[in-house]
Amino acid sequence: MTDFGIDPTDQRILTILQKEGRLSNADLAERVNLSASACHRRVQHLERGGYITGYVALVNPRKVGRKTTVYVEITLNGQADETLDAFEKAVARVPDVLECHLMAGTADYLLKVVAEDAEDFARIHRRHLAKLPGVQTLQSSFSLKTVRQTTALPI
């Protein structure tokens, strides 16, 4: 059922590296019962085949002063291709926007924004979001608490 061009060993490798991205190849090899060279070859295959798109350090937002997560629903004034393109290009340049999705249904876009606090979000809203091209309405929803946050996909 779960295939997609990778075997169970590759799946284990992905599952492990999704949680411990800096695990040494030697340790990884031991965990999946392979020699270091065989394991290394598989990891390279997963990287070159686009299964693994990169490795990142996860930074605690609170420790760098980003205590506030806000989801923003945006509707644009029109659905013309150029309207959407212009919006998408501009939104990708706002560093406070961690995610942006084009949505089905009423709202056109859903954004995940990280701000220092509510006041900082007001600044981001006024200075960046409201000025994105084609924006008609903005509706912001504040997160009171992050219950779960993971980058690990079920594999």
Residue 25 as a binder of DNA (CB under 7 A): the answer is yes
Q: What element of type H or E holds 95?
A: none
CA pair distance 5, 49, nearest whole angstrom? 10
Which of DNA, a copy of itself, none lies near 129, with the C-beta cut-off 5 to 8 A by kind?
none
- CB nearer to DNA: pick between 7 and 117: 7
CA pair distance 112, 140, nearest whole angstrom? 10
Residues present in the chain in total = 155
Q: What element of type H or E holds 113?
A: strand 109-115
CA pair distance 41, 79, nearest whole angstrom? 46
Q: Stretches 37-45, 57-65, 88-96, 114-122: which one binds DNA (CB under 7 A)?
A: 37-45
**Least Cβ distance, residue 37 to DNA (angstroms):** 3
Return residues touching DNA (CB under 7 A).
7, 9, 24-27, 33-38, 40-42
Return residues touching a copy of itself (CB under 8 A).
2, 4-6, 14, 17-22, 49-61, 63-66, 69, 71, 88, 91-92, 95-105, 107, 109-110, 114, 141-155
